[in-house]
Amino acid sequence: MLKETEVEKVLDLVKQTRKLIYREMETAKVTVKGAADYVTNVDFAVQEFLKTELGKLFPEIRMVAEEKENNNLSATGTYWILDPIDGTTNLINHYGLSAVALALYEQGEITFGAVFNPFNQELFHAAKGRGAYLNGERISVPPHVALRDAIVSFGSSPYEKEKAKEFFPIYYEIFMRSGDFRRTGSAELDLCYIACGRHHAYLELNLKPWDYSAGSIILTEAGGVITGWQEEKLPYLKNADIIACAPQLKGEIKAIVTAK
């Protein structure tokens, strides 16, 4: 687990990506990886920067990242899990809701997470047992929101549109019982927004480890809950279906999900 001084060094590196992101966006190059799935020179630049700089501080820790091969991973290992740009489609369209997301995986659990939106300079972070923070201020999940008043965010799984007929009816039922829906296009920011009370629940299918690892510890350290759709523990080194919410909403949301 990172010492407090090490946390500060890592957060400083994450914040340094802002200038790099703005510089790389001046000559943005977009590559299509698949249906609604893109990568840019910005992704590669951020990934290489953090891989290099973290390697200087922690040469013994290997990196798992979106834009690289991730082979021979061990559940008992220690890894950085990085999404250099979570919300690449947003980045391409100058939407302002993208984030650098970095987590530390240690022997089956996430012990540190940082999620940084360079466009509004919001930095969320948490370390195991030390609480969750937004720009250095402690944050927590609101304790008394009912589903009828809740803002629920969701992911539409645009890479697998054929699944829409399966899960959109679930979203419809939740929408009809909740206050309203949001769709940000960044899973990591969705988790952080629950942690600070902007949203109250979030659901998505088949998220990759770098889409949820950093935000998961920020949410739980803020008092929220996050599980798989069948209440299974998150695998972190594998894809997962996610339900994240304020604790008091879990039972009602889970009942809707399992009823469909």
CATH class of 147-259: alpha beta
For 157, phi and psi rounded to 5 degrees? 50, 60
Selection from 127, 69, 68, 121 nearest residue 99 by Cα: 121
pLDDT at residue 24 in the model: 86
Q: What are the tokens at 127?
A: 């370390």
Q: How open is the CA angle 97-197-138, to the nearest 5 degrees?
A: 95
> 4-139 falls under which CATH superfamily?
Fructose-1,6-Bisphosphatase, subunit A, domain 1 (3.30.540.10)
Q: Where are the domains of the chain?
A: 4-139, 147-259
pTM of the model: 0.94
Question: What are the E-state strand segments in the chain?
Answer: 30-34, 37-40, 62-65, 78-86, 99-106, 109-117, 122-127, 132-134, 137-139, 151-154, 180-182, 201-207, 225-227, 240-245
User: What are 185-206's pLDDT values in tens digits?
Assistant: 999 999 999 999 999 999 999 9
Q: What are the tokens at 165?
A: 């007929």
pLDDT at residue 37 in the model: 54
